[in-house]
A and B are shown apart, each in its own frame.
Chain A
Amino acid sequence: MPGPHAILNYTRRLRGPMTNNRTWIPYLLILPSVAFLALLFVVPLVQTIWLAFSDNGLPSLANMRTMAGDLNFLPSVRNTFLLTIAVVPVQVVIALVMGTLVAKVGAGRETILWIWTIPLGISDLAAGMVWLSILQNTGYLNSLLFSLGLIERQTSWLTYQTPVALFIGIAVAEIWRGTAIVMVIIVAGLNQVPKEFKEAAEIFGAGPWTRFFRITLPLIRPALQSALILRTVLAFEVFAVVYALGGRNFPVLVGEAYTWQNQNQNYGVAGAYAVLIMVISLAATVVYLKAIKVDPERLP
């Protein structure tokens, strides 16, 4: 019988070259995606930051000052934040209600989910156009209100003279457009919760509300966290729907970046806006990560 060293050497000889060959294969496979991201994400990111914080090739806060001093700056910050605060919680609540309702449905569940996720497949500009066709002067809403005798002539909803109606119109369109993705994430989260948890809670005396708040909601924390981060970041980047419905009557951060880039041809200020949006998004993400802690120990 060969001694232990002989066996070890033998297996080493067998495995040695193969494992050596294999160590770099994972890196090789990952390389294209890393290179791709580095080229098309990290490089532009660094360039944008440099663009925002430089003037004629020298470090400078001039672009920041121009941005902050602009007439539309404060309204665009205010509008973006108001829209995010109005839209994201409503989307999460609607998505939770939809997800909970569809869980009770037996037959036809897939069809309902399929219909509910249709807005996911529509580009945001197209979604804006859909709502424009509803809310513009000659739109479906006015036609309906007129035929019901509620208005006597065409009413404007989307002008700078009707800021509240414009805000509500944009918010509704955004809610319509962006709830589906929240719902998809939350339905996936709800599906991960075994029904025995709810049944056990029911047996031990928890009513439907208690079951929802004490059992279901804590157990879908990871899904909730993902949905909130994703939706909030996207809400800070709102642009196309606003552009379609309100144009510059309702300035938002990305809209301003677009205007400075295209109309004013001032890439430095556009870069400053882009950096600001990124900082806000990162801050929101950090807030969510801290506020909704996901402890893997407390998950099923």
Chain B
Amino acid sequence: MANIVIDRIRKSFGSFEALKEVSLTINDGEFVSLLGPSGCGKTTLLRIIAGLETATSGDVRIGDRSVIGLPPKDRGLAMVFQNYAVFPHMTVYENVAFGLRMQKADDARVKAQVEKAAGLLHIEQYLDRYPNKLSGGQRQRVAVARALAVEPKVLLMDEPLSNLDALLRLEMRTELKTVLQSAGTTTIYVTHDQTEAMGLSDRIAVMHNGVVEQVGTPVDVYNHPATRFVGGFIGNPPMNFIKVPVSNGQVVAGAEQFVAPKEAGGEVVLGLRGEAVELAPLPQGLEMKVRVAEPMGSHLLLTGSIHDQPVRVILPASETVRSGDTIGLKLDRNRITWLSPESGKSYPAVAA
């Protein structure tokens, strides 16, 4: 077991800066997701930690030991690849045993470890088969078992579930969480799927354009996004951003009135989670023009505009709103994030 310190890592490909001074500390036994859209640098960062890519500058320490100059095999880690990378010419048994064989473990230990890992991932019955005879989900289990069999200090996972179909992904997600909780391995998990990151992680590092925009627990990142990007990337539907004028330290929006953050200038962006509203009879609340109403069964999804700016809100399924209606919305004051319209960064919370 080991903590990981990523210290001012930079990486350039020619003139393109893939990572701009990224620092991040991951505690022993913690599960941290690197979350972001494609091209944000998350996979590059993971590959630098693995030793498959060299950083332009900066340091990576695993268990207080700098590993930046070490080859991957001396870093005490294991990895699960997006396309599984399960060796097709070896049986499942030999695949799971591969890391142990490379460590020259004796047969008894190999057998014990393979059986243990195979048991955790429920692939005991496939051990003498070749991977081509397995489904994608089963191959991914083999890849995870191969990684866990060496009992790594650090487990790196690169979009491990993205090649699976939606149903299988959900199932594997739950199972991964169970398996990794019992293993207690420090895990870094790269994903572009925010629900995966929310469901699995102790903490999430949201990355964008080679920068870590925010690090925090899933709830923290969801409720208090540090930037407009984080609010927009996390949550489905994403956070709504409504630009509103500030006068005399007050924000007046429809019938609602708020204390503006003291750093705010003439305008401020009101960040609003789609579900942090309730229906209010007009002229109470904030006026929303509903363009489309979609009854989803569990809830009612409304798409439309407030102050001519596009928004999406969620109401209980029991409400009846139709496309074309104009409704009033009462905002949950505790769940509003105020952001700067210029920098896109959020202001410290204001007393409601």
Contact = CB atoms under 8 A, between A and B. Distances in A.
B150 A297 contact: no
B132 A297 contact: yes
Nearest to B71: A202
A194 B88 CA distance: 11
Interface in A276-300: 296-300
A206 B133 contact: no
Contacts of A206: 73, 98, 102
A210 B83 CA distance: 22
A46 B146 CA distance: 57
A215 B103 CA distance: 16
A210 B82 CA distance: 23
A300 B52 contact: no
Interface in B111-134: 130, 132-133
B102 A210 contact: yes
B102 A205 contact: yes
Contacts of B71: 202
Interface string B80-117: 01110101110000000011001100000000000000
Interface in B67-81: 71-73, 77-79, 81
Contacts of A201: 87, 98
A209 to B, nearest CB: 12
Contacts of B161: none
A199 interface: yes
B85 A194 contact: yes
A201 B101 CA distance: 11
B175 to A, nearest CB: 21
Q: Count chain A CB atoms within 10 A of each CB in B51, B79, B150 and give the residue with the most.
A: B79
A197 B85 contact: yes
B105 to A, nearest CB: 11
Interface residues of A, number: 22
Interface in A213-250: 215, 218-219, 221
Contacts of A210: 102
Given A202-B72, A204-B150, A219 B85 contact: no
B50 interface: yes
B170 to A, nearest CB: 25
Given A203-B77, A206-B73, A196 B133 contact: no
Given A196-B81, A297-B132, A297-B133, A203 B87 contact: no
A202 B98 CA distance: 11
B89 A196 contact: no
Given A297-B132, A298-B89, A298-B130, A203 B83 contact: no
Nearest to B156: A203
Contact of B81 (A199, A218, A221, A300): A199
Contact of B88 (A203, A204, A205, A298): A298
Nearest to A300: B88
A200 B95 CA distance: 11
B85 A204 contact: no
Contacts of B102: 204-206, 210
Contact of B50 (A203, A215, A219, A300): A203
Contact of A199 (B85, B88, B133, B150): B85
A42 B244 CA distance: 87
A205 B52 contact: no
Given A219-B89, A297-B133, A298-B132, A204 B81 contact: no
Contacts of B72: 202-203
Given A215-B87, A299-B88, A205 B99 contact: yes
Contacts of A194: 83, 85
Lowest 7 A-B CB distances belong to which pairs? Answer: A205-B102, A196-B85, A204-B99, A205-B73, A200-B85, A218-B89, A298-B89
